[in-house]
Amino acid sequence: GGVGSWAAEALARTGIGAITLIDMDDVCVTNTNRQIHALRDRVGQPKIAVMAERISAINPECRVTAIDDFVTADNVAQRLNGGFDYVIDAIDSVRAKAALLAYCRRYKIPVVCVGGAGGQTDPTRIQVADLAKTIQDPLAAKVRDRLKQGFQVVKNSKGKLGIDCVFSSEQLVYPQPDGSVCASPATAEGPKRMDCASGFGAATMVTATFGFVAVAHALKKMLAKARRQYVTPPAA
């Protein structure tokens, strides 16, 4: 989707040898403002098929596995049984996101989760911290609650959950019917939403940066692990 497509693009152009894409959505014209595979001639096609074709065009040697499905709380074990070196979580559903993170944490699968990218315009405010330390991110806050209530995942003695999260410290704004924005998530008419029906609540420079930061973090962690594994021990 919005973040995942840019993450896949960055991985492909970095020369990663194998990528697994998991999604069951189709490209829609309303994706144009934030997703790299949202092209007019691709509307209506499965996102994973379009992205897999794009990756192959960029890096023909990359092995792409495209899974036409959503990750859910019920199938997370099946979807994460591929022996992954790293998982980039760009899920929007709180229940599915928490299930994936809890599974990765339990089975020590390296993962970086991505918070909400909507309602923001300043990509320079994006950063990485422990999931317990994020601010200005309603999605991350809901996931923390779900992890605690549904999976008994709680903070350690240092106040951390042990899950890296990409988030922005920028104050969220919400689209208004007249084209303006405001900082209040609710009005007398009810809660505001950042969806395609209410107004385009995300911008490419933000969603792309979320994806790029997630990939940069994952690659840094993978390289650090590789260096530790291949360090030559000192001579006796």
The answer to the question of residue 235 being in a domain is: no
My answer on whether 107 and 220 are in the same domain is: yes
Average pLDDT along the chain: 91
pLDDT (average), residues 154-165: 96
User: Of 69, 84, 113, at which residue does a domain stop?
Assistant: 69
Q: What is the pLDDT of residue 98?
A: 98
Residue 111: partners with Cβ closer than 8 Å, 6 or more residues away: 86, 87, 88, 89, 100, 101, 104, 105, 163, 164
pLDDT (average), residues 159-164: 98
Could you tell me if 85 and 42 are in contact, meaning their C-beta atoms sit under 8 angstroms apart?
A: no
Task: Give the helix/strand (H/E) hosting 102.
Answer: helix 94-106
Above 90 in pLDDT, residue 146?
yes
Q: E strands of the chain, at which residues?
A: 18-23, 63-68, 87-89, 111-114, 126-130, 164-168, 174-175, 181-182, 186-187, 190-191
Which of the two residues, 36 and 131, has the higher pLDDT score? 131
The answer to the question of residue 236 being in a domain is: no
Nearest residue to 88 (alpha-carbon basis) of 179, 212, 194, 188? 212
List, for residues 163-204, the tens digit of each pLDDT value. 999 999 999 988 776 767 777 665 545 545 555 555 557 899
Give the count of domains, the chain.
2
My answer on whether 58 and 94 are in the same domain is: no
My answer on whether 158 and 133 are in the same domain is: yes
Range of the domain at 45: 1-69
Q: What is the pLDDT of residue 188?
A: 44
Structure tokens at 133: 């330390």
List, for residues 56-105, the tens digit of each pLDDT value. 999 999 999 999 999 999 999 999 998 999 999 999 999 999 999 999 99
pTM of the model: 0.89
My answer on whether 116 and 91 are in the same domain is: yes
pLDDT (average), residues 116-125: 95
Q: What is the pLDDT of residue 236?
A: 58
My answer on whether 217 and 119 are in the same domain is: yes
My answer on whether 25 and 109 are in the same domain is: no
d(CA 95, CA 167): 18
